Structure 1
């Protein structure tokens, strides 16, 4: 365990500064980075002995970003990370959900599916492709997991380079400054920190039906499944459900999605419907207004699923794989939040932040970032930025907080959906229909013409305030490379982009992104928004 150091009042450090040399750079510490013992220059401070300036519980994107940034600012930092195996026994290394069982393997498999589609297109472009492509699941999962493991190792190296201490141990709160560490071997020790950051992320939920825990997998298991999934049922309407179902269909596995109510709840409704329309047109089967009732394993190894439809009628089918994607819960159950008085929602397990300081819990020196923070987007870049800004507030005296408004995101379904800002429904509710103008267009990517691909769901719309130059409060793009298109426009929206500024811009031709700056037809007009020429 690291030797104890003395943490002083942050305000006193800022006021008086320090002439002591930084233990890492061997250069004088700046006024705002002084957090080491120095009784001469900080004689008015009351020393409190703690092992670390910062203890981070959770080694995902947010926790790692916060810990490395804090170390760069001169703080002594410890990161604790331990992954409980999934009910099916899947386990992984440092880096959290995004690296191991989320964004990274998902995007790689999504790209693998797009490559298969591109091979079909290539024939129309003159390529001599003599056989229809088939996927080797073992090769795909092997190369994906090799990349994931390289990222696991890279995170270990980065922590060591920045002199962040790391323990593969489960952390829980003993009091406001003490953390209990439980190692994989069962050894229990404690460590103290002046500040504690909770960044333990979330895990997939299972519905309370017979056979779910015993026989179904989740996204925690899919990317390292040791056999091809075969005929697959994906249960859930979340973006995780649709993304996984989309690439499984694209990889050649017969895939069905079971939805209880609305797909992509929380996203723009029109865009969500277009996403599922395209998926159905691409071969994914949908069971709408269905709920699972039971899963059982048959003698031949297949899974028998029984469900109930919206009319109360019972039905069923057999599948090789059943995947649950019915939502996630905050992984806070073993943190001991009640022990130290951290307020949280029992329904979701999420920590309640303060109004003026969203990442601060009800205990002043305990913070929460990432997916466990109530009411905030569950997105990797959000956790990373929030963690870095928190480190600067704690150890560099800054006052900048994470701005959770107009955060862009993309759903990596076969036809990608990028969005930033308000949905059309949210804008109408907030401003009233008489104060909202919606510009929109259906378009066809140039690349779709030769292979005669269906483009009836390629669509873009801007949700604007009606007054003045018409500030854009929401932008939605459905089409190829939606994430790449949306990112740049997200910067513009955060800078107050108006419709007049957007349409005064010159598009890059021929691209899909240019359709955003060419929109000139409003929903209010009732005119056909289909793009018919350059």
Structure 2
């Protein structure tokens, strides 16, 4: 940052960036009313974490959060995507589907469960929404307890220190801020070039707040959101199809992605591969006629009660005026470009930062946003602070057979290191709980991608199976500690668990041996 000239008769003094920040912070703290040390635009997980941590460090903080209605008019409360239309309701509906499978398994374990146990979408929807609303209320209480000012208003930048807010009634306010954090996340994208799509289709913004049963559903897209939604809809008994233009879970390991979709297909989810929607028309009976093009160019049609687009998400930055105040955004993704002045979250404007899904080329994951927000608050206002480490981030796709992953995929590792450098250990295993009811275990699989040279540095761990996320959390800690395959192999497993299969791995792909686990 360029040095500033002090308005004094003394000789010119050049101030460092930290000294400039200290002087500016004192000036802002001396002001009253609508002046703040920090204003966070966006009330999702990252924005809330950053604001509460800054307030805990003694700063005057405000959070702006305003939910624009979805294309179908759905709105929700404070907490962002994860709380309202993402992780939380998704996991609860995933659990509903798991319980449905468990009812079938229960008969094999001696429980006299009726063959046709009724399911109520209305009951599930009401329970999920009530829990989400309790979280909305809890977030508001937490902000109040920590003396963070909450404004249910849309914020936009007038300059690098000035924010205009507009509430639902059109009332405007001007805020001054020493620091600004952009944490607006993203929203699902519906391609407007497909006739009828915007008018008649829903997204993940709507499915969790839908009070009437979705019925026969078409999910368009191959993302993890598409597969998770299709998975729980099939699991609770709805006729569900997934239309995929190319492949599913493109940013994940290809072999693992195929296992996930194979398991879903075996469980009743239909896949329309290499197809793309052409038009959606609403009939007089309320059903949706979808015209689509197959891989060979033929046009086909089918009728659905619900069409859900999961074709990607875009950052909610259009109305903020980022570029108008000098914040550089990636022209393709429209996300904030961070990493300026050796700070991972700092934008091209020195006092404006971005965290979470709105930050370019960073994982779109709630725990990432939360940790990045807390670390940023400590760098700005604490005595010490560290940069967010965006490597070795674990994640789980909550499909019917869960898929957990950390580190490099086998495909990316081969590109980075080459086949001669790598060793891949793998196993198909049989979860004990699947054995008595005779569940299909052909897609339960684990692989560890590592170096051949001892002690065999691990580059990636990937697994499909029940409770995959719970298993990988512990392995994520090990990855942060740079665990080697040698150390993994020396670890004694907990028997009988699915997790122990990771430490029992001993067959490499290079060997060509059968990786199927045949006993204890």
1:416 aligns with 2:376: no
Partner secondary structure for residue 475 of structure 1: strand
Residues 404 and 469, structure 2, Cα contact 8 Å, conserved in 1 = yes
Does 1:198 pair with 2:158?
Answer: no
Task: Give the equivalent residue in structure 2 for 1:44.
Answer: none
- Which position in structure 2 is the counterpart of 1:211? 196
Indicate the SS of the match to 2:336.
coil
TM normalised by structure 1 equals 0.92
Contact 1:134/1:251, CA 8 A, preserved across alignment:
no
Counterpart CA distance in 1 for 2:72 and 2:19 is 51
Return the match for 2:413 from 393, 404, 427.
427
Which aligned runs of 4 or more in structure 1 are off by greater than 6 angstroms? 13-16, 47-50
Distance (whole Å) between structure 1 residues aligned to residue 70 and residue 333 of structure 2: 19
Q: CA deviation at 1:133?
A: 2.3
Out of 410, 426, 437, the residue aligned to residue 440 of structure 1 is 426
Gap regions ≥5 residues in structure 2:
1-14
Deviations 1:464-487 (A, max 9, x none): 011221011100010000110000
Q: Which residue of 1 aligns with 2:12?
A: none
SS of residue in 2 equivalent to 1:296? strand
Partner of 1:42: none
**Preserved CA contact (<8 Å) 1:236 1:257:** yes
- 3-state SS of 1:474 partner: strand
Residue of structure 2 equivalent to 1:91: 75
Matched-pair contact (CA < 8 Å) for 1:256–1:285: yes
Aligned to 2:251: 266
**How far, CA to CA, are the matches of 2:20 and 2:473 in structure 1?**
39
State the partner residue of 1:183: 167
Contact 1:35 1:75 (8 Å CA) reproduced = no
Given candidates 379, 384, 397, the residue that maps to 1:398 is 384
In the TM superposition, what is the alpha-carbon distance from 1:345 to its structure 2 partner?
A: 1.8
Deviation at 1:354, TM superposition (A): 1.9
Q: Would you say 1:458 and 2:444 are equivalent positions?
A: yes
Give the match for residue 504 of structure 1: 490
2:213 to 199, 209, 228: 228
Q: Distance between the aligned counterparts of 2:321 and 2:171, measured in 1?
A: 18
RMSD of aligned Cα (Å) = 1.9
Unaligned 5+ residue runs, structure 1?
Answer: 1-7, 17-33, 40-46
Aligned counterpart, 1:153: 137
1:521 match: secondary structure: coil
**Contact 2:423–2:508 (8 Å) recurs in 1:** yes
Alignment of 1:280-359 (within 5 A): 280-354=265-339, 356-359=342-345
2:8 — aligned with what?
A: none
**1:73 corresponding residue in structure 2:** 57
Q: Which moved more, 1:338-347 or 1:183-192?
A: 338-347
Aligned residues: 503
Partner of 2:11: none
Would the aligned equivalents of 2:28 and 2:178 in 1 still touch at CA under 8 Å? no
One of 340, 344, 350 as aligned partner of 1:364: 350
In the other structure, the counterpart of 1:4 is none
Deviation at 1:189, TM superposition (A): 1.3
8 Å CA contact 2:186, 2:315 repeated in 1? yes
Residue of structure 2 equivalent to 1:378:
364
